Amino acid sequence: MKPLLHKILYPGYDEKCKQLTKEDEIRFAAIIDKDGRIVAGGFKKGIIPLEKDKLRLEEFMEFVYEISQRKSFDESLGPINYLAARRDKIVLISFPLTDLTLLISADHTLDIEKLASHVVNVFDSEQSRFSDGT
Domain-wise residue ranges, the chain? 11-122
pLDDT of 127 > 50? The answer is: no
- CATH topology for 11-122 is Beta-Lactamase (3.30.450)
What confidence tens digit (pLDDT) does each residue in 4-54 have?
A: 556 788 899 999 999 999 999 999 999 988 777 889 999 898 886 655 666
Interhelix angle 11-21/112-122, rounded to 10 degrees, is 140
Q: Distance (Å, rounded) from C-alpha 46 to C-alpha 24?
A: 12
Question: How far is the C-alpha of 65 from the C-alpha of 83, rounded, in Å?
Answer: 10
Contact 107, 21 (CB under 8 A): no
125 vs 70, which has greater pLDDT?
Answer: 70
Q: Average pLDDT of 74-85?
A: 83
